[in-house]
Amino acid sequence: MNSKGIHHITAIAGNPQTNIDFYEGILELKLIKKTVNFDDPGTYHFYFGDEVGRPGTILTFFPWGKNANKGRRGRGQVISLSFSVPSGSLKYWEERFKKFKVVFDGPYDRFGENVISIEDPDGIEIELIENGAEKSDTAIRGFKSATLSVESLAKSQSVLTGVLGFNLIGNEGSRYRFESEGSIGNNIDLIVSPDSFPGIMGAGAIHHIAFRAADRVHQHTISKLLMQINLRVTEVIDRKYFKSVYFREPNGILFEIATDLPGFLVDEKKEDLGKILQLPEWFESKRNVIEKSLQQLKEPSPERVYLLE
Ligand code: ZN
């Protein structure tokens, strides 16, 4: 009962408009769901992904707005996320980043693949990694991997290999790569850096990473294994598009186990995904108040991110 890999990654952003301008406008991801933070309905929750938001393609944000405190990436956090792009497509992305004034590093080699890295407007590190077959299109396919900064290799390894079914497949210096049996979002890199600064949660930091469970039974099996190694796991929480449990892995990073189903078509048709604000039924009666409290959004514009328009 192994996890197939990453289900979604959730980060904190500042301005919601800038967030949409960057991820839809520049990275050409699709906003597949516009909703609110179920634990704080005065804040948006954006989901970006492929055309239907398949597990392994979903990047989500809580844009905290003007009052967001600034985060800092560091030890005890997911410190970067990597998207898979078709082999040969990095030229396209370099040109695009130059056009819209996005500073990038690379390309450089990691485990035999070409990587370029950028920061989003809040400071989140994003990598594009060429892998798989050369294709005529250039679009991001979904996650390739995520990089976690940890104090102890063994502690996180106990969860990744002992519970989630990943295998350690190699290392480059202090970067250790784990792989699961899925076809997307199936790598986790641990960087062992016990002396580095601990991360601070806030805009520009990644809040948590979710791993895939096929269904509730699979999720329950994983929860039981986690409890057997004395980790505290939450109750099952209904996130409308999936069911979730949360725990802190032994190096302190917040992990979630999310079910593949029911998915993002549960309240909207494919062609309508992301168009209107979706609320869980327990907030519907407060829709007017909630909508008024949220910043109004314009159509995404790649030029607006670094004020080229
Ligand atoms: Zn989550």
Å from CA of 112 to ligand 1 middle: 31
Å from CA of 299 to ligand 1 middle: 26
Å from CA of 34 to ligand 1 middle: 15
Instruction: With cut-offs at 50, 70 and 90, classify the pLDDT of residue 309.
Output: low
CA distance 179 to 167: 5
pLDDT at residue 307, rounded to an integer: 79
Residue 153 token pair = 């290799």
Instruction: With cut-offs at 50, 70 and 90, classify the pLDDT of residue 133.
Output: confident
Å from CA of 174 to ligand 1 middle: 27
Å from CA of 280 to ligand 1 middle: 16
In the chain, where are the structural domains located?
6-306
CA distance 89 to 91: 5
The percent of residues above 90 in pLDDT, for the chain, comes to 95
- Report whether 217 contacts 19 (CB < 8 A): no
- Report whether 271 contacts 292 (CB < 8 A): no
CA distance 130 to 86: 5
- Cis-peptide, bond into residue 86, ω within 30° of zero: no
Å from CA of 308 to ligand 1 middle: 33
Å from CA of 235 to ligand 1 middle: 14
- Report whether 141 contacts 130 (CB < 8 A): no
pLDDT at residue 136, rounded to an integer: 81
3-state secondary structure 141-207: CEEEEEEEEECCHHHHHHHHCCCCCCEEEEEECCEEEEECCCCCCCEEEEEECCCCCECECCECCEE
Å from CA of 209 to ligand 1 middle: 6
Instruction: With cut-offs at 50, 70 and 90, classify the pLDDT of residue 132.
Output: confident
- Report whether 129 contacts 115 (CB < 8 A): yes
Q: Is the pTM of this model over 0.95?
A: yes
Closest CA to 126 of 144, 139, 150: 144
Task: For residue 271, count other CB atoms closer than 10 A to its CB.
Answer: 7
Å from CA of 228 to ligand 1 middle: 23
Å from CA of 208 to ligand 1 middle: 6
Å from CA of 306 to ligand 1 middle: 29
**Following CA atoms 50, 52, 53, 56 in sequence, which dihedral angle do they give, to the nearest 10 degrees?**
-70
pLDDT at residue 97, rounded to an integer: 97
Å from CA of 256 to ligand 1 middle: 6
| Burial (CB count <10 Å: 0-12, 13-18, 19+), residue 87 | middle
CA distance 188 to 167: 10
pLDDT in tens, 282-299: 999 999 999 999 999 999
Å from CA of 95 to ligand 1 middle: 32
Å from CA of 118 to ligand 1 middle: 23
Query: Per CATH, the architecture of 6-306 is what?
Result: Roll (3.10)
pLDDT at residue 308, rounded to an integer: 67
**Taking 90 as the threshold, does the pLDDT of residue 72 lie above it?**
yes
pLDDT in tens, 179-226: 999 999 999 999 999 999 999 999 999 999 999 999 999 999 999 999
